[in-house]
Amino acid sequence: MSSVRVLVGTRKGAFVLTSDGKRERWNISGLHFAGWEIYHMKGSPTDPNRLYASQSSGWFGQIIQRSDDGGKTWHQPGTPPGEPTTTPEGMPKGESNKFVYDASPETGKPLTTHQWYDGTQHPWEFKRVWHLEPSLTDPDTVYAGVEDAALFRSTDGGKTWQELSGLRGHGSGPKWQPGAGGMCLHTILLDPSDPQRIFIAISAAGAFRSDDGGQTWKPINRGLKSQYIPDQTAEVGHCVHRIALNRSRPGVLFMQKHWDVMRSDNGGESWQEVSGNLPTDFGFPIDVHAHEPDTVYVVPIKSDGEHYPPEGKLRVYRSRTGGNEWEALTKGLPQRDCYVNVLRDAMAIDSLDSCGVYFGTTGGQVYASADAGDSWAPIVRDLPPVLSVEVQTLP
């Protein structure tokens, strides 16, 4: 019988939640990495026991952790437990948290600069990994979206990382600027139908696409309109919060922008707004049903200045028409006095026949629906603030 494994990253560590396919009774393991922020954990689609985790701290920086047994044990990829800490040549291991931007050969400084809060140009400075996206075909290949915004790739299971610097180098970098959460590359989508195509999104720069495996990039923001930038339809500068696709139809993208829910039917070449009857079109996560490519989920949040659900009612909104027409999903969710937020990486979809939907809140709840959102129940209620939720559907 199939089962699911939900990977939850929080402000104070990580949890692994498991259940059989009914998704009624849950086993909770953790706390892993106690006291550290876990921005994201994700498993390899081809080797579900291979998990990657981004562990960070304001004191001690970035660590990459890897599990090869489905989250039971973890190690830093360059230094497996019990193995020598140096190579046979005597070189130290422990490169797995080394994220060094490509530098200009002339200056030795990271390629390009970006716009700082005061309008001056600022060099790229590595802060943390926001998102880890394992390859669809190779468990040792994984992409990392980082702050300050850039894309890195490891092809040795997370031991070493190389920047795909064509993204920063494509020309618009000096116009990127940090949003309130920092200038982060938070979304990475690998096209299941085209191994050369990658979509990414950056706050606050926008969405970008590569059609050559990450070597060269182009902004894909036509149709976005953002009132918080001087040129509301500029090529870059948009605060994209999340993009999502359905594996069976990867040319269709859905986007939750700072404000506005958007849709593209041409791989991001152009976008149109599909916010329709949502009570507010501000929000962070967006996801697509595993089997119905026109069924989309968002969690409306009141505003950018008020990060909580409108009227204190926690409602997931579902569209079965690819946007524009939305219905509130409330059964099992608090409908009064609820002032949590749901962050951009904190929603996930399983691929069981009756599609499961999961999300975590800044109040420490993780909610699950085993019936595509019709009804919800908390798996856990009192975790630290939830930063990310991923789910694996296991055979």
Partner 1 sequence: MIRVVLPSHLRTLAHVEGEVQVEVEGEVTQRSVLDALEVRYPMLRGTIRDQATQQRRPFVRFFACEQDLSHELPDAPLPDAVASGTEPLLVVGAIAGG
Instruction: Give residues in contact with partner 1 (CB under 8 A).
Output: 35-36, 57-63, 76, 78-79, 81, 85-86, 92-95, 97-101, 126
Distance CA(300)–CA(307), nearest Å, equals 10
Q: Give the up-direction half-sphere exposure of residue 134: CA atoms within 13 A in the CB hemisphere.
A: 27
Amino acid at site 160: T
CB of 99 to partner 1, least distance (A): 7
Query: Two tokens at 385?
Result: 């603030």
CB of 154 to partner 1, least distance (A): 15
CB of 36 to partner 1, least distance (A): 7
Query: Two tokens at 189?
Result: 């989508």
- Give 303's DSSP letter: -
Nearer to partner 1, 62 or 135 (CB): 62
CB of 101 to partner 1, least distance (A): 8
Nearer to partner 1, 62 or 361 (CB): 62
Query: Two tokens at 122?
Result: 């600022």
Nearer to partner 1, 68 or 265 (CB): 68
Nearer to partner 1, 94 or 171 (CB): 94
CB of 61 to partner 1, least distance (A): 5
Phi, psi torsion values for 8, nearest 5 degrees? -120, 120
| Pairing verdict, β 128-134 and 162-163 | unpaired
Nearer to partner 1, 58 or 395 (CB): 58
Instruction: Report the alpha-carbon angle 151-284-234, nearest 5.
Output: 65
- Give 364's DSSP letter: S
Nearer to partner 1, 126 or 359 (CB): 126
Nearer to partner 1, 93 or 170 (CB): 93
CB of 88 to partner 1, least distance (A): 14
Residue pair 328/300 in contact (Cβ under 8 Å)? The answer is no
Nearer to partner 1, 60 or 228 (CB): 60
Burial label, 91 (beta-carbon count in 10 A; 0-12, 13-18, 19+): exposed
98 closest CA partner among 36, 41, 152:
152
Instruction: Report the alpha-carbon angle 144-12-39, nearest 5.
Output: 15
CB of 248 to partner 1, least distance (A): 40
CB of 192 to partner 1, least distance (A): 33
Distance CA(94)–CA(97), nearest Å, equals 7
Instruction: Report the alpha-carbon angle 381-391-193, nearest 5.
Output: 155
